[in-house]
Each structure stands twice: as C-alpha cells, then as structure tokens.
C-alpha cells in the first residue's frame, strides 16, 4: 500500500468504517441473482484487487500488503436482499444506511455489493461498498464502469480460471517491510530536487507553509474565520444517509447570470443547506462559516483504472452567515479563484507525498491520533466526482440514478458526496445518527439553494 492508502486502513475503528459506497438505481425488471454473480465473476480478471485481502505486518514494521485470498468466495461478497413495501426512497435509504454503517471484514477482500429488489415502479438497485484503502472517487468510477456498459444488450464473457498466488511468509514480508522503511525515505530524498523544480523552487514549498501558518492573508484568514461548532463532535456506530438532486440545465442557467464554475454553484447550494441547518439549531451568526475540505484528484490521464488513492485537498469557507444567495456565490467564487491561483492544491499534494518519510509504525499511530484529536478547523467534507455523460446499462437494464456515500470520521459528523450522471447531479449526505438527527434539513436546504438561485437568475 502507499502511505495514503495505508492511512485510510489504519484510521478505521468500530465507529469509523472507512469505506466509500454508492447506490445505483435501475429500471426493471430485476435480473436474477445468478446473472449478477456471473457478471461480477466475468469482470474480476480486470480488477485483481477484488480477490485480494490485506495482510498487516507484526508491529507495523512495514506498510500493509495485498495478498490473494486463497478462500475467495464470490457469494460472500455479492449479496441479495429486498426492501419492505412500498419500496420507496425512504426504505432504500434506510437499508443503505444500515449497510453502510457496518464495517467490512478485513480478513477478506474489502468490498461488497447488494442486489436490492422490491423498489416501487418495478425498479431495483445495487448497493456497493469498497474500502477507501482500495480506491478514491475517480478510480472507483473507473471500476464501476467495468460492470456497466454503453449498450443495452451485452453478452457476458466466459470467466477464466483463477489460481491464487502463494502468500509470502510473514518473515519475508517483515524483511521487505524493514527494507522499505529504510529505502523509501532515501528514494524520496533523491526526488526532492525534481519536486522542487515542479514548484519553480524549493522556497515555494516554504512559502506555502508560511501561508498556512498565517504570514500570508488568503488561506490563513480562512482558517481563523469563526466557524460553526455544533457540526463537530464524537461519532457513534450508526448513520443517517439522505439525498438531494439538481440538474445541469438549472446550473447552467445560474452560471449564465452569476458566473463561476459548476462547482462554485454546487458549493453555494450546499452553503444554503448548512445555513438552514444552523438557523434551525439557533446557532447561526452573521459572520459564521462552515469550513469544508474539498478533495482534488491528482490522477493523470494514464493513471485511470488504478486501484489506489491519488488525491489532494483544499479548504473552503462556506459563508453560511451571508443572507444574500448571490453574494454567497460570489464569496465562494472568489475563494476558489484564489485557491487556484495560489496553487494550494499543488502544495497540499507535496505535503501528502512527504508523508512517505514516516516509518509505517509512526504512520499507523499518527493516522489514528490525527483522526481522533478534537478539532474545530474542519466541519465537513465535500467531494464532487464527475460521472459519465452517456447512458449506462447493467445486464441490459438502464441505470437511472446513482447516489454517493462518503464516510464520516474523527469529529467531522457530516460529509457530502456529489455524483454527476448524464445531465443530473445527485447528493449523498452522510451523517452520524445520534449527532445529526436533523440531517434532512440540510438536504432540503441544498435543494432550496438551487431553487433560489434559479429564481434570481430568471429575473
């Protein structure tokens, strides 16, 4: 595993399952369970990680490694269930929330898929969950498209025989781990000159650090703006998961009048959702923000179909204290423009790569400690993954919608995942069950955020 992938593996505990997921809704009739099994089996050759499990080394003398599961059983990973009548969105969301709240078995390949029947209108769904140490949002989309096709009729290829590779002995892996712990820092040291050249000069790394520490105004000022407090707190084992929707046509209409990017408009609508939530809680103030981490994909064109994490991140203040929706959008647009010009995402990726210097044992302890340490800097995570713009099918059935699931962790009780498909945007809002009983207010507020901007752009 890379250091970042291993970090996602190490921070998991009984209350923080670290998998990403999605719910895919199809028009019926539902395929047979056997056909779904055959589809997965026929594709496993293209995703070898799905037949591999994690082997952690004693005392974490090396990063965890992937080994073939010599007892792999597809029937364990692909499951079959149904929702109770009437099979509406509430029943599907409640089922998905329970499934997403459960940890994956780390003694087996860390993924599951559930065929769900009984949806109203003759529809059916696939609920999928994959551990974050295997994929990030972009590589997860790539793997998803292996199961979905662009043609309505498709013939399944014959599955090929698979023989698991022998598992290396623990002693051999420990020797490799010690060697890696010694050689990796040396290799990264030798790469520093090239890394510095990519940032024009090594002093630019120092300038980035100074900006975070507060000697430069933009990013530092955002870190010290008054943030909401009730959004942070301890996390329990259960989850509430709700949805919201938007479409590309209304976002284009808004942009035509207000300017900005699609992502700017989406963040403005999410800001309205958090504003409504805090107002209902009696916490809203004029100068308040909700600080969100926005992951940025650093994956290059030739790095798709890789099962790993290649992400960086930027911090954005959502101006929930501002009552004017157009002004909220302007504030967000200026922040995003500033972040792009200041190259914060590039600097953050440098710091992510430098984590490879950490010895695996320290990284394991550090990852856990960082995610448990109480903090008020960050209130939520917002991740927007662009999906396909062409119709997709599974076993000849058209995909109608898909909703993303992003895990909560540390003291961050709410995450917002956004997925685009065709001309639609879907929002999967995940929240701690006990800490955010009013999460539906947030989801409704996101939809209100789009409605008010559309109304203002039509005037």
Q: Which residues are catalytic?
A: 132
- Give the total residue count for the chain: 459
CA gap 317, 380 in Å, rounded: 10
Rounded distance, CA 233 to CA 141, Å?
31
Distances (CA, A) of 210 to 60, 120, 356, 417: 33, 56, 22, 31
Chain center to CA of 77:
21
Q: Which residues have C-beta within 8 Å of that of residue 211, sequence separation ≥ 6?
A: 218, 219, 220, 342, 344
Q: Are the beta carbons of 188 and 353 closer than 8 angstroms?
A: yes
The answer to whether the Cα torsion of 362, 363, 369, 370 is positive or negative is positive
Give me the DSSP letters along 12-80.
Answer: -BTTB--EEEEEEEE-SSPPPHHHHHHHHHHHGGG-GGGGEEEEPPGGGSS--EEEE-TT--HHHHEEE
């Amino acid at each position: 595993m890379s250091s970042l992938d291993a970090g996602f593996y190490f921070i998991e505990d009984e209350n923080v399952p670290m998998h990403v997921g999605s719910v895919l809704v199809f028009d019926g009739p539902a395929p047979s369970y056997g056909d779904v099994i055959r589809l997965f089996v026929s594709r496993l050759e293209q995703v070898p990680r799905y037949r591999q499990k994690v082997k952690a080394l004693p005392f974490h003398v090396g990063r965890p490694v992937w080994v073939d599961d010599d007892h792999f059983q597809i029937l364990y990973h692909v499951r079959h269930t149904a929702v109770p009548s009437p099979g509406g969105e509430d029943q599907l969301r409640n089922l998905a929330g329970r499934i997403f709240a459960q940890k994956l078995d780390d003694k087996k390949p860390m993924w599951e898929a559930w065929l769900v029947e009984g949806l109203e209108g003759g529809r059916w769904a696939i609920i999928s969950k994959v551990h974050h140490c295997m994929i990030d949002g972009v590589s997860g989309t790539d793997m998803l498209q292996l199961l979905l096709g662009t043609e309505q009729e498709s013939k399944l290829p014959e599955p090929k025989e698979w023989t698991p590779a022998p598992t290396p002995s623990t002693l051999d892996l420990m020797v490799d781990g010690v060697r890696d712990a010694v050689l990796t820092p040396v290799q990264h040291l030798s790469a520093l000159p090239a890394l510095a050249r990519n940032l024009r000069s090594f002093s630019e790394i120092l300038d980035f650090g100074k900006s975070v520490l507060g000697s430069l105004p933009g990013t530092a000022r955002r870190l010290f703006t008054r943030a909401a407090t009730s959004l942070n707190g301890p996390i329990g084992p259960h989850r509430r998961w709700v949805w919201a929707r938007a479409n590309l046509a209304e976002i284009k209409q808004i942009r035509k009048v207000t300017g900005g990017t699609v992502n700017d408009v989406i963040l403005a609508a999410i800001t309205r959702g958090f504003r409504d939530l805090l107002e209902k809680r009696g916490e809203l103030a004029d100068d308040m923000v909700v600080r969100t981490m926005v992951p940025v994909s650093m994956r290059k064109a030739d790095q798709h179909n890789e099962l790993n994490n290649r992400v960086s991140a930027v911090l954005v203040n959502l101006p929930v204290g501002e009552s004017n929706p157009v002004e909220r959008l302007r504030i967000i647009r200026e922040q995003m423009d500033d972040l792009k010009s200041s190259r914060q995402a590039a600097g953050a990726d440098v710091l992510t790569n430098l984590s490879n210097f950490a010895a695996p044992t320290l990284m394991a302890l550090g990852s856990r400690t960082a995610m448990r340490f109480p903090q008020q800097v960050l209130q939520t995570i917002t991740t927007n993954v662009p999906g396909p713009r062409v119709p997709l099918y599974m076993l000849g059935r058209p995909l109608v919608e898909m909703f993303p699931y992003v895990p909560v962790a540390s003291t961050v009780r709410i995450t917002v995942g956004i997925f685009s498909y065709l001309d639609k945007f879907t929002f999967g809002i995940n929240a701690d069950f006990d800490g955010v009983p009013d999460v539906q207010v947030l989801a409704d507020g996101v939809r209100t955020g789009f409605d008010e901007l559309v109304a203002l752009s039509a005037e």
